[in-house]
Amino acid sequence: MKKSTSAFLLLIIIIGAWFVSGFWVFDFESIDTINVQNPVNEHDPTTDSEHDPEQNQLEAERLEADRLEAERIEAERLEEERLEAERIEAELAIQRNAVTEESRRLFRGYFYDEAITLLNNDESLINHETLALESEIQQAANSLIRFDGEIKHIFFHSLILYPEHLFPDLSIPTGGYNEGFIFQSEFIRILPQLLERGYVLYNINDIFSKDDNGIMRRNHIYLPPDKKPLVLSIDDPSYHYGQRFVGGGFDTSRTPGSGFANRIVRDENGELATEVITPEGETIITYDGDVHIILDAFIKEHPEFSFRGAKGIIAATGYMGVFGYDLPALKAEGSRSEIIAIAEKFKENGWLFANHSYTHNRTGFWGPESNPGNIRFDVRRWREEIEPILGQTNIFIAPFGFLLRGEAMQVILDNDYDIYCTVDFSQQYSVYETHAVMGRIEIGGYSLVRHANTLNRDFFDVAYVLDPHRPPIQSR
């Protein structure tokens, strides 16, 4: 037992001595060997940065430069985004202004639903301004009231452009053109006064129409509280005044100074204009040579004078041709297509056409001795020769304002004319089961003088309208 213990202790001592003398020496040598085999890299940036201030400064400057470059790039990006946003907003503003301007024009012309629809067509254009305008339009539409008062109908003939040539001596009482026509200057003075008095041009077919049972009715009319409807018509715009009727047509060799426009034409843009021969014999194109051209321009500036684009009625007399083109011109292939194009442009601009008879003949036709056979002949000729140019119409404007009766009137009704217009200063209309009859007031020299009280009361200041170059009216 003791020998075993001694031997074990000896073994422990030997191992300990070996460990101290050999293992540790080996271990450190191994470590040194490892360190020699893997020396520290003297050029390691990480190591250098810890001990090289200059290197640290360069690194800091590099990092700052990188930061500044990143900030510059970001600033440029933000500036580009800002400029792009401004460009887009500028484009939207231009589009929005165009939309709001057109919407206001529609609004002024009583196209309420169309104006609101336009404002909401493009959501990107909607803002506080468009919303405010929409609210204003809706409020106006909701404020319309039914108009139950009298409905006026006034009519004109073509305008006298050069009165000094028609009436060189103002001391001589004159009839004819001086009675039935007004001057260009007078018509231009009338329009603003009609507007100021609250009149709004209204489509006669929106006033009178047949219901589903074919019964004629006066329709309900809704307007702003300060407005009232007005019907306007123009008789005989043929421009053949003073010309001789020769061989089925007119002698168009008009002398200078005849006082009227020569004819209606289309300009290079397809717009309607008047061809005028000046007193000096020069042929010029104007945009103020007759009622319809002046009225179109006035309504463009004042849309509130026309209810939903209504203008007036052009009453064409058959044998006189239309728009300054006589019957031979209506039949000639080249001129016929141009005359039809002029008629279509009138309709596009809101004008209606009416049959004003073919013959414009009082004896046996449009007078007390009216003969149904003659009326039948007259209507047939108009429908054969003029209707293909102007298109179908349901409006008949009687020559001389004569009201047919009995069988003669039945001829008119059988040809689908269910609105019949006369001349009647009482300003009355009547609605029958099959048709409506509406009286009209002529605006001409005679009415300006003889019916001044009525015109002053209902339409305009006659003294302001009258042109100083108008001679006295010849007594009838």
**Burial category of 23 from C-beta neighbours within 10 Å (exposed 0-12, middle 13-18, buried 19 and up):** exposed
pLDDT at 15: 57
Same domain assignment for residues 270 and 242: yes
pLDDT of res. 257: 53
The verdict on residue 157 lying in a domain is yes
DSSP result, 107-166: HHTT-HHHHHHHHTS-GGG-SHHHHHHHHHHHHHHHT-EEE-S--EEEEE-PPBS-HHHH
Three-state DSSP class for 267?
A: coil
271 with 198, same domain: the answer is: yes
Residues 6+ apart with CB under 8 A from 120: 126, 134
Encoding tokens for residue 9?
């202790």
Q: Are 165 and 464 in contact (CB under 8 A)?
A: no
Contacts of 88 (CB under 8 A, 6+ apart): none
Assigned token pair, 463: 């003294």
Residues 82 and 191 placed together within one structural domain of the fold: no
CATH code of 258's domain: 3.20.20.370
Considering the domain boundaries, does residue 41 fall inside one? no
The verdict on residue 195 lying in a domain is yes
Q: Which residues pair with 284 in a beta bridge?
A: 276
Helix (H, G, I), strand (E, B) or coil at 422: strand
- The answer to whether residue 155 sits within a structural domain is yes
If asked whether residues 301 and 336 sit together in one domain, one would say yes
Say what the pLDDT of residue 61 is: 86
| Listed residues 95, 120, 142: the one ending a domain | 142
Please tell me the predicted confidence (pLDDT) of residue 243.
54
Q: Are residues 81 and 218 in the same domain?
A: no
Same-domain status, 109 and 180: no
Domain endpoint, select from 122, 142, 162: 142
Question: Is 329 in the same domain as 302?
Answer: yes
Specify whether 135 is located in the same domain as 156. no
Determine the structural domain holding residue 64 and report its residue range. Answer: 53-142
Residue 59 included in any domain:
yes
Q: Residue 278 carries which DSSP code?
A: -
CB atoms inside a 10 Å sphere around CB 374:
18
Query: Which residues make Cβ contacts (< 8 Å) with residue 179, sequence separation at least 6?
Result: 444, 445, 446, 473, 474
Task: Tell me if 474 is assigned to some domain.
Answer: no
| Whole-number Å distance between alpha carbons of 221 and 284 | 42
Question: CA-CA distance, 351 to 344, in Å (whole number)?
Answer: 9
Please identify which residue in the block is written with the tokens 């700052």.
64
Instruction: State whether residue 152 is helix, strand or coil.
Output: strand
Q: Are residues 356 and 442 in the same domain?
A: yes
Report yes or no on 8 lying in a domain.
no
User: If 0-12 CB within 10 Å is exposed, 13-18 middle and 19+ buried, where does residue 161 land?
Assistant: buried
443 and 355, same structural domain? Answer: yes
| Together in a domain, 64 and 92 | yes
Tell whether 9 is covered by a domain: no
Residues 77 and 90 occupy one common structural domain: yes
The DSSP bridge pattern shows strands 228-235 and 199-201 to be parallel
Give the Cα separation of 316 and 327 in Å (integer). 12
pLDDT in tens, the chain (476 residues): 544 555 555 556 555 555 545 444 444 444 444 444 445 455 555 555 556 888 888 888 888 889 988 998 989 888 888 888 888 878 888 999 999 999 999 999 999 999 999 999 999 999 999 999 999 999 999 999 999 999 999 999 999 999 988 888 888 888 889 999 999 999 999 999 999 999 999 999 999 999 999 999 999 999 999 999 999 999 998 887 755 444 444 445 545 557 899 999 999 999 999 999 998 889 999 999 999 999 999 999 999 999 999 999 999 999 988 999 988 889 898 899 999 999 999 999 999 999 999 999 999 999 999 999 999 999 999 999 999 999 999 999 999 999 999 999 999 999 999 999 999 988 889 999 999 999 999 999 999 999 999 999 999 999 999 999 899 998 76
Number of compact structural domains in the chain: 2
Query: End of a domain among 101, 126, 142?
Result: 142
Q: In this predicted structure, what is the pLDDT of residue 395?
A: 98
